[in-house]
């Protein structure tokens, strides 16, 4: 009886999680799908976003995401590899680095926005720009990406490391061909979590990338991300709820598409590594 009650409780919790997701998605799809069209996707906003489309907003969002990922992924993966493979056991510096990363992962996004505005926008003279927004998002996703990748690397069986070294492989080759492919699920999870947080971020971008809804001409131009556009339509524009729902649906589809593409790219990359090795 106790086992059946426990299994029923776990199944109920899983059902509630799936139901909540379907509830949110159903609401967004029901309200936003009728407003989706090619004109909406490939035209500029008009009448404060009530009419027209979101083409400049999509371009700004892609540039901000690209900057954030190009900066955060190599740095984050390098830090994770150092913490799991090269840092001395019980190293005070490594332990303090982990504590700092945990604290940074819990810092509110508005604080990152204020930091990005003070450092990137004002101190470095980038102003309200896509570059400021992308670099601020890179700072945001670094902690969670590093900790997720580090946990995955530490979970790889030590027998793999000893086997690679016994075969004469250098430590760098063992990490490249054995350890990283072994930690693939954690790397994919860290990448998807970082993508999700960066794509849906609003508060930090209000202070860094700006509010302008025109097509950006360069990385130093201000641009409105999709999440900021949704916030503006729902909070500041009377009669903008329909366009806000449609933009939210596009954002959900964008996050799902990027997550699937990221997982596919990582899988293909690791398959090539395994073939080469």
Q: Which DSSP string corresponds to 37-101? A: -HHHHHS-EEGGGTEE--HHHHHHHHHHHHHHHHHHHHHHHHHHHIIIIISPTT-HHHHHHHHHH
Mean pLDDT by 10 residues, the chain (277 residues): 88 93 89 89 87 90 92 92 86 88 89 93 92 93 90 87 84 85 82 82 87 87 90 86 90 86 72 55
* Whole-number pLDDT of residue 199: 83
Sign of the C-alpha dihedral computed for residues 108, 114, 115 and 116 taken in this order: positive
CB 182 within 8 A of CB 156: yes
* Whole-number pLDDT of residue 47: 85
* Whole-number pLDDT of residue 272: 62
Q: Which of 137, 158, 164, 153 is nearest to 187 (CA)?
A: 153
pTM of the complete model: 0.86
Q: Tell me, which fold does domain 36-275 have in CATH?
A: MetI-like fold (1.10.3720)
* Whole-number pLDDT of residue 17: 92
Give the rounded distance of the alpha carbon of 128 from its chain centre: 21
Q: Which of 247, 131, 146 is nearest to 194 (CA)?
A: 146
Residues 6+ apart with CB under 8 A from 69: 138, 194, 195, 198
Burial tier of 220 (Cβ tally within 10 Å: 0-12, 13-18, 19+): middle
């Amino acid at each position: 009886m106790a086992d059946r009650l426990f299994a029923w409780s776990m199944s109920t919790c899983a059902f509630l999680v799936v139901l909540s997701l379907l509830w949110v998605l159903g609401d967004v799809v029901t309200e936003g799908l009728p407003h989706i069209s090619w004109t909406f996707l490939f035209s500029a906003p008009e009448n404060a976003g009530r009419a027209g489309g979101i083409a400049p907003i999509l371009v700004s969002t892609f540039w901000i995401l690209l900057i954030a990922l190009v900066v955060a992924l190599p740095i984050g993966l390098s830090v994770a590899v150092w913490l799991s493979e090269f840092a001395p056991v019980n190293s005070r510096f490594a332990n303090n680095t982990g504590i700092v990363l945990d604290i940074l992962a819990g810092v509110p996004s508005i604080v990152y926005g204020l930091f990005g505005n003070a450092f990137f926008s004002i101190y470095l003279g980038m102003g309200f720009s896509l570059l400021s927004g992308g670099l601020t998002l890179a700072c945001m996703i670094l902690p969670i990406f590093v900790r997720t990748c580090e946990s995955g690397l530490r979970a790889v069986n030590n027998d793999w490391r000893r086997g690679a070294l016994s075969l004469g492989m250098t430590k760098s080759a063992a990490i490249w061909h054995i350890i990283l492919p072994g930690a693939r699920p954690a790397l994919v999870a860290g990448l998807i979590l970082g993508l999700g947080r960066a794509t849906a971020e609003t508060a930090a971008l209000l202070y860094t990338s700006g509010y302008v809804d025109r097509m950006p001409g360069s990385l130093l131009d201000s641009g409105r991300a999709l999440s900021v556009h949704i916030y503006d339509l729902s909070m500041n524009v009377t009669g903008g709820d329909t366009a806000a729902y449609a933009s939210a649906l596009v954002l959900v589809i964008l996050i799902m598409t990027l997550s699937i593409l990221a997982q596919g790219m990582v899988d293909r990359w690791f398959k090539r590594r395994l073939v080469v090795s």
